[in-house]
Amino acid sequence: MAHERILVLDFGGQYNQLIARRVRECSVYCEVKPYTTPISEIKAFSPIGIIFTGGPGSVYAPDSPQADPELFHLGIPILGICYGCQLLAHNLGGRVTAAQRDSAREFGKTETSFDTTCKLFRGLPPQGTSWMSHGDYMEKVPDGFSLVAHSEACPTVAICNESKGFYGVQFHPEVNHTENGTAMIRNFLYEVCGASGDWTMGDYKSTAIEKIRETVGKGKVLLALSGGVDSSVAAALMAEAIGEQLTCVFVDHGLMRLNEGDEVEAAFSKWNLNFVRANVEELFLSKLKGITEPEKKRKLIGEEFIRVFETEAKKIGTVDYLCQGTIYPDVIESGAGNAAVIKSHHNVGGLPDYVDFKEIIEPLRMLFKDEVRQLGRELGLPEYLVMRQPFPGPGLAIRVIGEVTKEKLTTLRFADFIFRDEISKAGLEQTMSQYFAVLTNVQSVGVMGDGRTYDYTLALRSVTTSDFMTADWTRIPYEVLDRISVRIVNEVPHINRIVYDITSKPPSTIEWE
């Protein structure tokens, strides 16, 4: 079935995929295409509405990205965001200039008043915060347009011509800082474009599967499975699409959390795919013997991971495609353009040279984390896998401070499990972004029963963050901390002291090593 479509026309803004994601969130199918897309292609796409994105340029600059004037005669509603709004004004007889007064330029959160009789703001509060980022402003609004929002500094925050279905906003409704931003986009889709909401993540799944089948044909695909959310969802999607043509290599380095390796294997047993679990705990432990320096540990684990992956891949023979679970935030972090190469380093420490593959497949490249989770559910992955918190590639080796031994890993695994179990029982999982235990290298004196102990100190770490670049330590209620502490010292041998890490990032990092 053909879905109603929205076209997001990309003028070089930072948040273009976020706009697309908001549209998907409103259950409408959409695609992002460059502003240079020929009008014939746009007509063939037959969108029910077009969104012009923001962009870094000034519409009056000679080399700035311009909209094809025919777009305004297609009878299709248009929503212009920031630069896109200025394009509307510029093309339809208004005037856009550089703000003369500093006060007319706006960056950041701005108190804004909305005319709620305009379809875009219908049903929303008349006042709210909007996220601005513009140095140019609309000095003259085009004929036939009304002013429908203003701020203290800027009289022309939003414009519309309802009879033509043209709307422009200077702010970014797609970012979270704009109150009711998604509701405004929803209004554009439903009230203006007449969308019925005929698209779901299930549809994404079917389309993605079709595309994968088309690309891969009868070829063979290799996937390095870490057990993290992204690679697991990518694997499940590929498995659904191409079954036995897929080989997942899961390098179990023995540095996973309690039962994690088995859980990953069990989750993939329902598909008819080639699943290789390389059980290489002993190999990794022998390599890590005597190593205490964090960077050395990381490098060694990264390198060894690749060696094992290469060995397993070699056994498979010719591989046509390599699949990676790259998701959209990775693409942004790695910088657009060469993102695939950078990410492969990040994921598997560098692509093995000898594997003769034609292409890299990244089926999640346009999705955000929560969409990936939704897709995972759609594919029938269990909740514990889908909701898994981030876990570093070097695993527990960087949470055992100092030398890593099998005994210390066992101790940490149990303590970490109890911590997570109590957080889950207290219903606090959603309030924290990442939480785990660290086995410090400190031993101290304690008393248990009537005897003296000289055992390890365990540190609990929990952070709340949206981007993992900065983070705040989580205020876990004392009674929950108390329960965790009592359980761990009672149930886990060799731990007689628990401390809670109350440093933010910066100055600390999230992991201890």
Give me the residues that bind ligand XMP (CB under 6 A), please.
298, 390, 392-394, 434, 468, 505, 509-511
Instruction: Determine the Cα–Cα distance for residues 291 and 294; give it in Å rounded to an integer.
Output: 8
Instruction: State the minimum distance, in angstroms, from the CB of residue 275 to ligand XMP.
Output: 22
Which of 179, 157, 192 shows the shortest CA–CA distance to 81?
157
Instruction: State the minimum distance, in angstroms, from the CB of residue 474 to ligand XMP.
Output: 14
CB count within 10 Å of CB 481 equals 16
Q: Which helix (H) or strand (E) holds 114?
A: strand 106-114
Dihedral angle of Cα 383, 385, 391, 396, to the nearest 10 degrees? 110
Q: Pick between residue 122 and residue 505 the one whose CB is nearest to ligand XMP.
A: 505
Instruction: State the minimum distance, in angstroms, from the CB of residue 395 to ligand XMP.
Output: 9
**Phi and psi (nearest 5°) for 350?**
115, 140
From 26, 30, 82, 85, the catalytic residue: 82
Instruction: State the minimum distance, in angstroms, from the CB of residue 341 to ligand XMP.
Output: 17
Half-sphere exposure of 180 (CA within 13 A, CB side): 18
**Phi and psi (nearest 5°) for 66?**
-115, 155
Q: Pick between residue 298 and residue 494 the one whose CB is nearest to ligand XMP.
A: 298
From 3, 90, 134, 172, the catalytic residue: 172
Q: Pick between residue 156 and residue 434 the one whose CB is nearest to ligand XMP.
A: 434
The full DSSP string for 251-290 is EE-S-S-TTHHHHHHHHHTTS-SEEEEEE-HHHHHHHHTT
Identity (one letter) of the amino acid at 198? D
Q: Pick between residue 359 and residue 511 the one whose CB is nearest to ligand XMP.
A: 511
10 Å CB burial of residue 88 (0-12, 13-18, 19+) is: buried
DSSP state letter for 239: H
Q: Pick between residue 483 and residue 505 the one whose CB is nearest to ligand XMP.
A: 505
Q: Pick between residue 242 and residue 308 the one whose CB is nearest to ligand XMP.
A: 308
Number of H helices, E strands in the chain: 15, 20
What SS3 class is residue 149? strand
Instruction: State the minimum distance, in angstroms, from the CB of residue 346 to ligand XMP.
Output: 7
Instruction: State the minimum distance, in angstroms, from the CB of residue 497 to ligand XMP.
Output: 23
Sign of CA dihedral 374, 377, 379, 384: positive
Instruction: Determine the Cα–Cα distance for residues 414 and 150; give it in Å rounded to an integer.
Output: 57
Q: Which helix (H) or strand (E) holds 381?
A: none
Instruction: Determine the Cα–Cα distance for residues 54 and 309; give it in Å rounded to an integer.
Output: 42
Q: Quick check: is 323 catalytic? A: no
Task: State the chain's maximal CA–CA distance in angstroms.
Answer: 88
Q: Quick check: is 172 catalytic? A: yes
Structural contact between residues 319 and 222, judged by C-beta atoms closer than 8 angstroms: yes
Instruction: State the minimum distance, in angstroms, from the CB of residue 505 to ligand XMP.
Output: 5
What SS3 class is residue 15? coil
Instruction: State the minimum distance, in angstroms, from the CB of residue 301 to ligand XMP.
Output: 8
Instruction: Determine the Cα–Cα distance for residues 292 and 54; give it in Å rounded to an integer.
Output: 49
Q: Pick between residue 338 and residue 466 the one whose CB is nearest to ligand XMP.
A: 466
From 4, 106, 162, 174, the catalytic residue: 174
Which of 107, 161, 150, 149 shows the shortest CA–CA distance to 132?
107
The full DSSP string for 450-467 is TEEEEEEEEEEEEEE-SS
Q: Pick between residue 142 and residue 228 the one whose CB is nearest to ligand XMP.
A: 228
Instruction: State the minimum distance, in angstroms, from the CB of residue 508 to ligand XMP.
Output: 8
Q: Quick check: is 491 catalytic? A: no
Catalytic residue positions? 82, 172, 174
